[in-house]
Amino acid sequence: MGTIRVAVSGACGRMGQKVCQTILQEKGLELVAAFDLQEQGADLGIILENRPLGIKIEALTAENLKKHKPEVMVDFTTPMVVMQNIEVALQCGVRPVVGTTGITQVDLARVSRQVEESALGAVIAPNFALGAVLMMKFAATTARYFPQAEIIELHHDKKIDAPSGTALKTAEMIARERQAEPAHKEELLKLPGARGALQEEVHIHSVRLNGLIAHQEVIFGGPGQTLLIRHDSYDRSSFMPGVVLAVKNIVKLQGLVYGLENLLNL
């Protein structure tokens, strides 16, 4: 396989900058375009390393995609623009690899149709950290034996969506593997939301604090025992091996891949 031409959408964000740096250093990948709503016209290299690279920050448009001819576009933007970005990429024959959170089940169905119509592939992953993928896998397995489970997800205070995509997908995976539904009981909530949000009969609690990056724990309860499964990302470098894995695999695939675990031999 030759070098894969990659564009990054959201290139000036914290995750976007890390993705750009990773692609620039990764053998077999070539960064050909950087898109963002901010810093348009600036040299990406000045933003990343204070030295010019000759890659200008541009708006994500069909014209610019056709000009740079990337094969893959990595998107770490916001829930407000991600669906439009995916649609533009697919219309231009570019395969999206998406780490932007806030994508709903309705959105996934829409992307699946668009991918099928374009005969391309797309990867949407709530979390690109390999440890987080294993945490979700272990949680799904544990759900066969512990019907009671609650999720606590903790992220930095700039994250705008809650619950996280990782927490929502974890709850879905737990629900699929459960042998029995947890028993319902009457609860007296002295404050609205005291028990968190409910997804697939799994309570999810969201924490947003300065100093955090991305963390999640799943607590299972059974007679006389509990089991805690936890994953912590202390640096955004934890997501990069998963991003690279997705970029290198999506050029060989067709259809929508939802979740990085589908690219691993788990």
Q: What's the CATH number where 142 sits? A: 3.30.360.10
Please compute the mean of the pLDDT values over residues 103-129 and round it to a whole number: 93
Question: What's residue 177's pLDDT?
Answer: 94
User: What CATH number is attached to the domain comprising 103?
Assistant: 3.40.50.720
Are 42 and 143 part of one and the same domain? no
Are 79 and 48 part of one and the same domain? yes
Two tokens at 179?
């042998």
Are 136 and 36 part of one and the same domain? no
Please compute the mean of the pLDDT values over residues 24-35 and round it to a whole number: 96
Summarised one tens digit per residue, pLDDT across range 35-66 is 999 999 999 999 998 889 999 999 999 999 99
* Residue 241 belongs to domain spanning: 4-124+236-263
Domain count for the chain: 2
What is the rounded distance in angstroms from the CA atom of residue 87 to the CA atom of residue 69? 16
**Cα R_g (the chain), whole angstroms:** 20
Give the SS3 label for residue 231: strand
Could you tell me which residues come within 8 angstroms of residue 216 by beta carbon, excluding any fewer than 6 positions away?
132, 135, 151, 152, 153, 154, 164, 166, 167, 170, 230, 231
Lowest mean per-residue pLDDT among 136-145, 179-188, 254-263 = 179-188
For tokens 């997705």, name the residue: 246
Please compute the mean of the pLDDT values over residues 209-221 and round it to a whole number: 96
Catalytic residue (one of 56, 137, 156, 159): 159
Residue 82 pLDDT exceeds 60: yes
Tell me whether residue 203 is one of the annotated catalytic residues.
no
Are 198 and 227 part of one and the same domain? yes
Summarised one tens digit per residue, pLDDT across range 135-165 is 999 999 999 999 899 999 999 999 988 999 8
What is the rounded distance in angstroms from the CA atom of residue 174 to the CA atom of residue 197? 15
Q: How would you classify the pairing of strands 95-98 and 29-35?
A: unpaired
Residue 266 pLDDT exceeds 70: no
Residue 114 pLDDT exceeds 90: yes
Are 112 and 208 part of one and the same domain? no
Please compute the mean of the pLDDT values over residues 181-201 and round it to a whole number: 85
- Segments of 107-191 assigned E as strands: 121-124, 148-155
Are 97 and 144 part of one and the same domain? no
Closest CA relative to residue 174, chosen from 125, 120, 123, 135: 135
Catalytic residue (one of 68, 155, 169, 231): 155
| pLDDT classification of 1: cutoffs 50, 70, 90 | low
What is the rounded distance in angstroms from the CA atom of residue 190 to the CA atom of residue 194? 7
| pLDDT classification of 106: cutoffs 50, 70, 90 | very high
Are 84 and 207 part of one and the same domain? no
pTM: 0.85
- Neighbouring CB atoms inside 10 A of 127's CB total 28
Question: What's residue 188's pLDDT?
Answer: 83
Are 117 and 137 part of one and the same domain? no
What is the rounded distance in angstroms from the CA atom of residue 175 to the CA atom of residue 151? 13
| pLDDT classification of 190: cutoffs 50, 70, 90 | confident
Are 12 and 118 part of one and the same domain? yes
Question: What's residue 186's pLDDT?
Answer: 81
What is the rounded distance in angstroms from the CA atom of residue 263 to the CA atom of residue 53? 32
Are 106 and 191 part of one and the same domain? no
Are 54 and 163 part of one and the same domain? no
Tell me whether residue 18 is one of the annotated catalytic residues.
no
What is the rounded distance in angstroms from the CA atom of residue 240 to the CA atom of residue 26? 10
Are 71 and 198 part of one and the same domain? no
Residue 264 pLDDT exceeds 90: no
Question: What's residue 153's pLDDT?
Answer: 98
